[in-house]
Amino acid sequence: MSTLSQPLAGKVALVTGGSRSIGAAIAQRLAADGASVAITYSASPVKAQEVVQAIERAGGQALALHADAGDPAAVRAAVTRTAEAFGSIDVLVNNAGIALGGAIDEIRFEDYERMIAVNVTGVFVATQEAVRHMKESLALRPLPRVTRTCRASGRTAHVALNTSAACPLRRQSWMSTGRARPPACITAAASVGGVCTEAPACTR
C-alpha cells in the first residue's frame, strides 16, 4: 500500500474515548490511513471490541484498553500499554470528554469536579505521558501530533461546559523557564461543534 493511500503507515495512534461516536470514527479513519490504533473506553467494552474488530476486519491493528479518562493512574497505564504493544506513540487524540448541560444553578458540584477530572486533568495526564514516549522516537519519526476534540455550546442562563487543555499544552510545549525551545510535538484543537450522539449528556 502506498504512502499516498495510507499516509500513517507505520505510525501508532491512541484515541481516548474511542469506543463510540466521534472517537470510534476517528479511530477507524486513523486505521484506514495505516496507523496501528489503541482506543480507551470507560463503560462500553462491547462497543470498544466492535471498533477493534472492524479495524481488524479491514486489515488493521487495534487494541482496546479499559481506562477511565478521569483516573490519572488508568490514563498513564493506557499510554504505557499502547507504547508497549506497538513500540511507540506518534499520534494522541484526546477525545474522551463530558459536558454538563442545564441551568448553572442546578449543576451539582461533584458533576463539575468530574468534568474537570476528565476534560482537563485527563487531557493533561494523557498528553504528558504520551509526549514522553514521543520524545524517544523523535530522531526516527516526523514530529508527533496531539489533538483535542472539542464540543461546546451555550445559551442564556444555561451552560454546556466542555473545557480543553490544548492551548496551555501548546504554550508549554514551546516554553521552558521563559525561553523558547523546539516543540516536543504539534498540538491542535479540533472543534466539531454541537454533536448529538447516543451517549447520555454526562457520560462518554
pLDDT of residue 195: 57
Strands 158-161 and 153-155: antiparallel
For residue range 8-53, what is the model confidence (pLDDT) as tens digits? 999 999 999 999 999 999 999 999 999 999 999 999 999 999 999 9
Nearest CA-CA partner of 27 in 55, 46, 65, 3: 55
Q: What is the pTM of this model?
A: 0.77
Cβ 203 vs Cβ 189: under 8 Å: no
**What cell was used for 93?**
487524540
**What cell was used for 154?**
451555550
pLDDT of residue 191: 56
What's the CA gap between 116 and 157, in Å, rounded?
21
What's the CA gap between 164 and 9, in Å, rounded?
29
What's the CA gap between 74 and 37, in Å, rounded?
18
pLDDT of residue 179: 42
- Those residues whose C-beta lies under 8 Å from the C-beta of residue 73, and which sit 6 or more positions away, are none
What's the CA gap between 63 and 41, in Å, rounded?
11
pLDDT of residue 152: 46
Cβ 41 vs Cβ 18: under 8 Å: yes
Helix (H, G, I), strand (E, B) or coil at 72: helix
Strand (E) or helix (H) holding 83? helix 72-86
Strands 179-180 and 175-176: antiparallel
**What cell was used for 80?**
504505557
Is the model's pLDDT at 163 over the cut of 60? no
For residue range 106-154, what is the model confidence (pLDDT) as tens digits? 999 999 999 999 999 999 999 999 999 987 665 555 545 566 665 544 4
Proportion of the chain above pLDDT 70, given as a percent: 64
pLDDT of residue 188: 55
